[in-house]
């Protein structure tokens, strides 16, 4: 289950990831524990759970079986922690160059490279075996795919080579919706793929808004995020286009999943708010506003709230449908 970032992407602190910092060096056992927890990027995992839980309600047509739901969440969190820890190992060099990430445990050498690798691999093995034994093999395969995609495709292949890194690398961050659905049904359907696309289109503008705030960091680390290699006008225009795609795809869940009217109304209102903010950014760029005056972090935080509230509506809708039946 790895809604990995947001991203690869989620997932913010500026980014959730930037708040996953140990308070101090680990001279004690407790310090080491805090360092390894921070290595897992727990705030990013929280964002992943926001999309996993609602999908299980839709898949179950109401409250999902408690045991299966808990197992899916526990092993999904471990899967995400595995990918995040191994990502910190691979990215420890560039993390040292960026203000937003230089206090991560691997970058500060609070955790040894060998320790980070063993920790990440152990979590990955336990999560995969746990899914296979206590949930189902389909969820185990999807979870393992998410870990490998995040590390091999996003972290090692795309991140340092192309401005499209978060577009295609963000696929890993969409996987929790498929894992949540398969955990309940042991199958896949069109409804989770619609929500997969919601997260897929949501990820680039959300991440680019943050990257515009930390453009100098990415440039110093030679990471070609779109705001590093393109001007503000192009970045914001793409944020607007992806935001439109996010909203339109979110409305498709209504006919595909046969929701009540509550969901499309909620999606329409939330989508309208997101689009208004995206177009405000575009208008400021066209008016010649640049740099911090663009206030991209406002859009970043709003997009976080948008995703959380949209998936809350996804959770509520099947419960409401049962009440009205």
Full DSSP string of 118-180: HHHHHHHHHHHHHIIIII-HHHHHHHHHHHHIIIIIIIIIITTT-TTHHHHHTHHHHHHHHHH
Q: Which pair of tokens denotes residue 205?
A: 């503008």
What gap in Å lies between CA 15 and CA 210, rounded to an integer? 7
Instruction: Specify the pLDDT at position 27.
Output: 59
Instruction: Specify the pLDDT at position 23.
Output: 44
CA 21 remoteness from chain centre: 18
What gap in Å lies between CA 138 and CA 184, rounded to an integer? 11
Measured N-to-C along each axis, helices 137-148 and 66-90 cross at an angle, to the nearest 10 degrees, of 20
Instruction: Specify the pLDDT at position 44.
Output: 86
Provide the H-helix boundaries in the chain.
29-39, 42-60, 66-90, 92-95, 113-130, 137-148, 165-169, 171-185, 190-213, 215-220, 226-229, 232-251, 253-257, 262-286, 296-324
Instruction: Specify the pLDDT at position 214.
Output: 92
Instruction: Specify the pLDDT at position 40.
Output: 94
CA 115 remoteness from chain centre: 25
CA torsion through residues 187, 190, 191, 193, sign: positive
Q: Give residues with Cβ within 8 angstroms of 195, minimum separation 6.
A: 51, 55, 177, 253, 311, 314
Instruction: Specify the pLDDT at position 291.
Output: 76
Instruction: Specify the pLDDT at position 292.
Output: 76
Instruction: Specify the pLDDT at position 43.
Output: 87
- Parse the chain into domains and list their residue ranges: 16-324
Instruction: Specify the pLDDT at position 5.
Output: 40
Task: For residue 61, give the DSSP letter.
Answer: T
Instruction: Specify the pLDDT at position 30.
Output: 79
Our CA dihedral for 274, 321, 259, 202, rounded to 10 degrees, sits at: 30
| Of the candidates 185, 191, 170, 199, the residue with the CA atom closest to the CA atom of residue 139 | 185
Q: Which pair of tokens denotes residue 5?
A: 């970032």
pLDDT digit of tens for each residue in the chain (325 aa)? 444 444 444 433 344 444 444 444 445 877 888 999 999 999 888 888 899 999 999 999 999 999 999 999 999 999 999 999 999 999 999 999 998 888 899 999 999 999 999 999 999 999 999 999 999 999 999 999 999 999 999 999 999 999 999 999 999 999 999 999 999 999 999 999 999 999 999 999 999 999 999 999 999 999 999 999 999 999 999 999 999 999 999 999 999 999 999 999 999 999 999 999 999 999 999 999 887 788 899 999 999 999 999 999 999 999 999 999 8
CATH architecture group of domain 16-324: Orthogonal Bundle (1.10)
What gap in Å lies between CA 304 and CA 111, rounded to an integer? 30
Instruction: Specify the pLDDT at position 17.
Output: 42
What gap in Å lies between CA 208 and CA 100, rounded to an integer? 15
The model scores a pTM over 0.75 = yes
């Amino acid at each position: 289950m790895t809604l990995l970032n947001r991203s690869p992407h989620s997932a913010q602190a500026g980014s959730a990831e930037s708040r996953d910092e140990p308070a101090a060096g680990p001279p004690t056992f407790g310090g080491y524990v805090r360092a390894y927890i921070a290595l897992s990027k727990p705030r990013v995992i929280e964002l992943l759970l926001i999309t996993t839980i609602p999908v299980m309600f839709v898949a179950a047509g109401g409250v999902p079986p408690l045991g299966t739901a808990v197992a899916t969440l526990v092993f999904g969190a471990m899967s995400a922690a595995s990918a995040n820890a191994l990502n910190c190992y691979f990215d420890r060099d560039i993390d040292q160059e960026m203000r937003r990430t230089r206090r991560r445990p691997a970058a500060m050498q609070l955790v040894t490279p060998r320790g980070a690798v063993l920790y990440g691999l152990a979590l990955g093995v336990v999560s995969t075996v746990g899914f296979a034994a206590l949930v189902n093999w389909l969820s185990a395969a999807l979870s393992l795919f998410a870990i490998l995609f995040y590390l091999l495709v996003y972290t090692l292949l795309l991140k340092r080579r192309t401005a499209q890194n978060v577009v295609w690398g963000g696929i890993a961050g969409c996987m929790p919706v498929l894992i949540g659905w398969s955990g309940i049904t042991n199958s896949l359907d069109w409804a989770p793929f619609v929500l997969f696309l919601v997260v897929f289109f949501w990820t680039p503008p959300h991440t680019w808004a943050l990257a515009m705030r930390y453009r100098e960091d990415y440039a110093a680390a030679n990471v070609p995020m779109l705001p590093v290699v393109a001007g503000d006008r192009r970045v914001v225009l793409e944020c607007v286009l992806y935001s439109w795609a996010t909203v339109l795809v979110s409305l498709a869940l209504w006919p595909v999943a046969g929701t009540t009217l509550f969901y499309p109304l909620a999606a329409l209102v939330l989508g309208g708010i997101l689009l208004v903010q995206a177009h405000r950014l575009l208008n400021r760029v066209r008016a010649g506003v640049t740099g911090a005056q663009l206030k991209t972090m406002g859009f970043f935080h709003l997009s976080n709230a948008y995703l959380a509230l949209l998936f809350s509506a996804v959770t509520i809708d099947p419960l409401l449908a049962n009440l009205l039946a």
